[in-house]
Amino acid sequence: MHLALATCRNLPSWEADDRFLHDALRAAGVSFDVPVWSDPAVDWTRYDVCLIRTTWDYQDRREEFLVWAERVSVETMLLNPLPIVRWNSHKSYLRDLSVRGVATAPTEWLLAGTRADVAGLMAARGWERGFLKPAVGATARETMRFEAEGETVAAAQTHVDRLLPNEDLLLQPYLDQVESAGERSAIFIDGVLSHCVRKIPVPGDYRVQDDFGASDEPVRLTAHERDLAERAVTAVPEPLLYARVDMLRGLDGTPCVTELELIEPSLFFRHDPAAAQRLATGLIARTR
């Protein structure tokens, strides 16, 4: 098998976690390249499979990325599959999960081209602190936390007024447990829970990405967290080679899904190198 591990042109220098996957693929006799998804010179028909891994700039050019994914899905096998990539590239998937009975963070959906009264929405919901994020985004791009009253809600209104003409936004309550307990991430390989990590922001921050100095460590989920993560994955109608479910405790103290990452998530192989072997095994099985 000849495999493409799709990446982006400006991969952060700290990204080294996929070396465990590289080792697992070599051990399984799989040859691979790491082509840039947006490079027009790449001949994707050369590959038996294209596995999306570190395409971490797609949120800045979503339509171009989806056109690429559609073309590649015709020329070779794309994993995760194209319908999943389309669905998961916009956070409206969280609304679908909620309809399917999966607990998600409460959300006000702010649609591009409309106007939104942030203070009014916060008051109607009874939220004391708020959180804004784009419906297409990653790595905490254009996210913001704020208080429901005072100067920060005015700053949040300015933030919304700047972004909302061109993109959908999510307004949610700020779940401050992220600062004290971190965010739980459950990694699934071939639909089975593989391993879990706790992502911990630097003191006073909420951003749990490596880019902002956050750390991570293995963690054991509670029974409730595990059940929620499994329900989120089984709510997806297509088989998934890989998935990551991010969770925080909600305003009522029970866990809720904040993200379901099915396109290009970090899978934290450094905390379970055997998971990379399981991914390689699942990948090979799909080509038989």
Active-site positions? 207, 244, 261
Q: Is 147 helix (H, G, I), strand (E, B) or coil?
A: strand
| DSSP tag of 166 | T
Number of Cβ atoms within 10 Å of the Cβ of 288: 5
Alpha carbons 20 and 16: distance in angstroms, whole number: 8
Q: What is the length of the chain? A: 288
Closest CA to 273 of 74, 17, 58, 26: 17
Q: Is 1 helix (H, G, I), strand (E, B) or coil?
A: coil
- DSSP letters, 176-204, are THHHHH-EEEEEEETTEEEEEEEEEPPTT
- DSSP letters, 229-248, are HHHHHHTSSS--SEEEEEEE
Q: Cis before residue 80, ω within 30 degrees of 0?
A: yes
